[in-house]
Every structure is written in structure tokens, then in C-alpha cells.
Amino acid sequence: MPIFSPELTKTIEGFLTRYETKRSSILPILHAIQDEKDWISDEDIDALEKNFGLSAVDVREVLTFYTMYRQTPPKPYRFEVCKSISCWLMGANDTIKTLRHEIEKAEKEGRPLPFEIHGVECLGQCGYAPSTLINKDRHNNVTPEKALQLLKEYSAKELPKAAVLCATNLAAKAQK
């Protein structure tokens, strides 16, 4: 099975010619890989070097510096709650605590939820605090009550494509 889909390969090739230097395309390429596969593996880095001539050292330098890139397989939904000053003043810690409690409770009851919770730095929505991202969806004024509601809504949704592909790839790898 090829490591990148034909669509992703085309996107990577597009980025390589879009910017002044090949190296400038590393950030967008890593975003694109993560969008499709949910995280960036060692195999992906090797493929970027082998198939597209990007130095694995340069790629790794970028991958490890920026917090948005995931180097391990994540849960399908990343619930990121801003914990910087404005959101903190408006109760972000309570939102985080409530979410963690709910997820732990579900885990203990044998019904694991497809979420991971992160307290993150400023999301730039300080007037609508507390602000959160669930994958790429922004939700504002997320009180503990609204957060629980969001857990319910997202639990009822179909899993994102990237999460499904991530799970499939991991299963295939485990079988080898």
C-alpha cells in the first residue's frame, strides 16, 4: 500500500513548486499529511526524503518544533481548551476539569469516548472565552455545561476520515 494517497501526492507536489524554495514547503506538506492521516510517522518522513527529496533532518526539525504536529497517533477528536489568561479568567479550568472527569468516568464504565483533552495556549478568541477547538471546529463561550453537550454531539457523529484511516493503518501495521 503506497504511503501517500494519489490526492496527497498531488498536493505535496503542488506545494513543492508553489513556494520559492523546496524547504518552505515543509510546513504546508506536514499539515497536509496530518490532515489526511491524523499524525506524522517516521515512515512519512522517510517517504518525504525518498520520494520528494526533502531532507529528513529539515523535516524533523520542523516537526519537533511546532506544537500542532502530532508525532503519535491521536484519538479521533482533539478537544483543545484555551487556558491562557482571558479564557482562564472566564473559567477555562472548570471546563477542562469537567471534560476530563466525564471522559474518565466513561472509561471506567467501559464506554470509552473518542476524545483527548488538551489545555492549550491562546486561541485568539479572548472576547468569547473560554474558547475551544475540536479538531478544526471552533466553539466559543464553552462553559462546562456546553462542553458536556459538545461531547455528546461529537460522540454521536461519524468518525472523521483521517481518524478512520489512522485506525486502519495502525491495524495493518500491527498485523505485519
Partner 1 sequence: MPVIKNEYQGRKPDEFRILLGLEGYPDSRNIKTYIEKSNGYKALEKVLKGGMSSEDVINTVKASGLRGRGGAGFPTGLKWSFVPKGPGEKYLITNFDEGEPGTYKDCYISEVTPHSLVEGKIIASYAIGAKKSYIYIRGEFHNEIRWCQEAIKEAYAAGYLGENIMGSGFTHHMDVYSGAGAYICGEETGLISSLEGKKGQPKLKPPFPAIKGYLGKPTVVNNVESLAVVPWIINNGPEAYKKFGTEKSPGTKLFNVSGPIAKPGCYELPLGYPLMRFINEDCGGLIGGKKLKAIIPGGSSAPALTAKECENLTLDYEAIAGAGSMLGSGAIIVIPEDVSMVSVLENLMDFYAHESCGQCTPCREGTGWLYKISKHILKGKGTKTDMDRMYSIANNMRGKTICVLSDAAADPARAIVTKFAHEFEPYLKG
The residues binding partner 1 (CB under 8 A) are 18-28, 30-31, 58, 61-62, 65-69, 83-86, 88-90, 121-129, 133, 136, 138
Whether 87 has a binding-site annotation, put simply, is yes
Residues in the chain: 176
- Identify which of residues 31 and 170 has a Cβ nearer to partner 1 in the complex: 31
Q: Give me the residues paired with residue 80 across strands.
A: 118, 133
Whether 122 has a binding-site annotation, put simply, is yes
Sign of the dihedral through C-alpha 128, 130, 134, 139 = negative
| Nearest distance in Å: CB 18, partner 1 | 7
Neighbours of 87 (CB within 10 A): 28
| Nearest distance in Å: CB 20, partner 1 | 6
39 contacts 71 by C-beta, under 8 angstroms: yes
Sign of the dihedral through C-alpha 7, 11, 12, 13 = positive
- Identify which of residues 38 and 102 has a Cβ nearer to partner 1 in the complex: 38
| Nearest distance in Å: CB 114, partner 1 | 20
Query: Euclidean distance between the first and final Cα of the chain, in Å?
Result: 13
- Identify which of residues 54 and 102 has a Cβ nearer to partner 1 in the complex: 54
Binding site feature residues for [2Fe-2S] cluster: 82, 87, 122, 126
